Every structure is written in C-alpha cells, then in structure tokens.
C-alpha cells in the first residue's frame, strides 16, 4: 500500500525560478552516497525477486547472512582464524585481508569536477561520441531526474531495468 505524499514539485514556475543544485568542492559517490546510506544497518541493501515472484528485502545488517545463499559466487573467502590451517587453492583468507585493511573506508578524495566516467552517445544521427562526466555531472545531476521526473523521496526505492552498458543503468544508484 502506498502512502500519499506531497509531490516534489507543486509549482513548476516557482521551482524553475528558485532551482539551485548544490555541488560540493569534493564529492565521490561511493562514500558520500552509498557510504552514508549503508551507515544505517536497517536501510535496504538489496531487493531480491526470484523467478517465481518471491521477494526478499535485505537490510545491510542482514546482507552478510544472505551472501552465502548467492548462486553465483565471484570469489571465495575462507574464514579460518589460523591462515596456516586448511589453506585451499583459489581461496582468500578473510583474516589476512582484514588484518591488512583499514577499519575505515573514506574513499578517494575527489573534486566534484574531476573526471569520473565516460559514456558514448547513441549515434542515432552520426557516429557515437564520448561524453565525459565528472563526479558531479552524472551522480549529482541525476538528483534532478529523481526529484522532478521520478518524484522520488528520501527513502524511496528506485528500480531501474537496463542493459549493463546503457547509461541509464547508473540511474538506479
């Protein structure tokens, strides 16, 4: 059941006149958006829908428990406190990784105008061209799409289906 909310835009002319996009000097999507979201263990980390329509909403707190049920494991991590015991070929020892890692992930300090990613135009009226996006132009720029076009609010879940190579894939982030 959906809850009625006030639309993000109730007066187009007022929004157009007063619109301002805040772009900080430094911005990186991973720590500034995903990291902020993930800092709340009760926030939704994944919405899983099975082939028969079954649905699971998984919070960040539950995520580690669910990982072991994943049918396609990209790599295996062995959780053995003594790295000299039961060392398996092709497995990585969890404790060795953790011992080398920093307890904090701050992400790289990137300026908002630093290069971030390149997409190609569709090429519908000529050859495709590369379009360079900064750390602000694509991720922060899509706040406009989310707020005004999709009318998303702070805790909404946006599910975007797209081909992996298509630029709209990132709109789901």
Q: Is residue 88 part of a domain?
A: yes
CA angle 160, 147, 12 (to 5 degrees): 135
Q: What are the φ/ψ torsions at residue 114 (nearest 5 degrees)?
A: -70, 150
Q: Is 107 helix (H, G, I), strand (E, B) or coil?
A: coil
Residue 33 in tokens: 């958006």
In a domain, 168, yes or no: yes
Residues 131 and 95 in one domain: no
What's the rounded Cα separation, in Å, for the pair 32 and 109?
Answer: 10
Q: Of 88, 107, 126, which residue is a domain's last?
A: 107
Radius of gyration of the chain (CA): 21
Residue-by-residue pLDDT tens, the chain, 173 positions: 466 788 888 899 998 999 988 888 998 877 777 767 767 778 887 777 888 888 888 787 776 566 567 666 566 566 556 655 555 555 677 778 888 888 777 778 899 999 988 887 777 888 888 888 898 888 888 888 888 888 888 878 777 666 555 555 555 54
- Which among 26, 25, 61, 67 has a CA at the least distance from the CA of 44? 61
User: Residue 100 is part of which domain span?
Assistant: 75-107
Confidence at residue 113, expressed as pLDDT on a 0 to 100 scale: 93
Residue ending a domain, choose from 92, 107, 122? 107
Is residue 95 within 8 A of residue 87, CB to CB? The reply is no
Of 66, 84, 107, the last residue of a domain is: 107
> Can you give the pTM of this predicted structure?
0.49
**Domain assignment present for 68:** no
**Number of structural domains found in the chain:** 2
Q: Is residue 16 included in any domain, yes or no?
A: no
Instruction: Tell me how far apart the alpha carbons of residues 110 and 120 are, in angstroms, rounded to a whole number.
Output: 23
Q: Is 171 in the same domain as 130?
A: yes
pLDDT at 111: 92
């Amino acid at each position: 059941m959906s809850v009625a909310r006030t639309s993000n835009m109730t007066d187009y002319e007022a929004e157009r006149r007063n619109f301002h996009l805040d772009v900080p000097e430094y911005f990186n999507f991973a720590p500034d958006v995903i990291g902020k979201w993930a800092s709340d263990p009760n926030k939704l980390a994944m919405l899983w829908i099975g082939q028969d329509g079954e649905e699971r909403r998984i919070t960040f707190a539950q995520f580690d428990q669910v990982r072991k049920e994943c049918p396609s494991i990209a790599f295996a991590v062995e959780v053995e406190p003594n790295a000299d015991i039961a060392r398996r070929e092709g497995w990585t020892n969890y404790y060795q990784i953790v011992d080398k890692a920093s307890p904090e992930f701050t992400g790289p300090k990137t300026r908002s105008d630093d290069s971030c990613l390149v997409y190609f135009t569709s090429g519908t009226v000529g050859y495709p061209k590369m379009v360079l996006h900064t750390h602000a132009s694509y991720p922060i720029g899509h706040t406009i799409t989310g707020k005004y076009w999709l009318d998303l609010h702070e805790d909404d879940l946006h599910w975007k289906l797209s081909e992996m190579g298509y630029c709209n894939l990132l709109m789901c982030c």
